[in-house]
Structures are given as structure tokens and as C-alpha cells.
Amino acid sequence: MDVFAWSYKDMLGLNPNIASHKIPLYLGVEPKKQKLRRMRMGLSLKVKEEVTKQLESGFIEVSRHTE
């Protein structure tokens, strides 16, 4: 039982150098905005709830770009 993480707050000991994802950006290339993808209302609410849990626990963070 003590080797499994039951919530995102239980995984704070993960080393970000080992378990992180980065989006490579190239200088001089304008970022593209993708078309909005619609979801069913029930699924959309579940996705929002999951993302909120991850943000609140510090498991993920918002990426900010100047352009």
C-alpha cells in the first residue's frame, strides 16, 4: 500500500529532472493556435476537475510565453 500514490499530493517526491515534459520552441517561429476541440459536457467537467486537482497539488504548472 505504501508504494502506490493515491493522489497527486502523494507524488511530490518525484524528481522533475527525471519525470517532466518540455515543449521545444524554436526562435523566430510563430506558435500555432490549434482549433478548439469540443467535448461532451460530462467529460469536459471531469477533465476540468482533474486539471484543477493537478494544478492545486503543484503536479503541473501553467506555461507562460511572451508571444
Does residue 1 surpass a pLDDT of 80?
Answer: no
Residue 66 or 45, more confident: 45
The C-alpha atoms of residue 5 and residue 52 are separated, in whole angstroms, by 18
- What are the structural domain ranges in the chain? 36-67
Q: Which of 49, 64, 66, 61 is nearest to 20 (CA)?
A: 61
Per-residue pLDDT, 27: 83
Residue-wise pLDDT for 4-54, tens only, equals 777 767 666 666 677 777 777 788 888 778 888 898 999 999 999 999 988
DSSP assignments along the chain, one per residue: -TTS-SSGGGGTT--TTTS-------TT-PPPPPPP----HHHHHHHHHHHHHHHHHTSS-------
**pLDDT (tens digit per residue) in 54-65:** 888 877 888 776
So what's the pLDDT on residue 31?
74
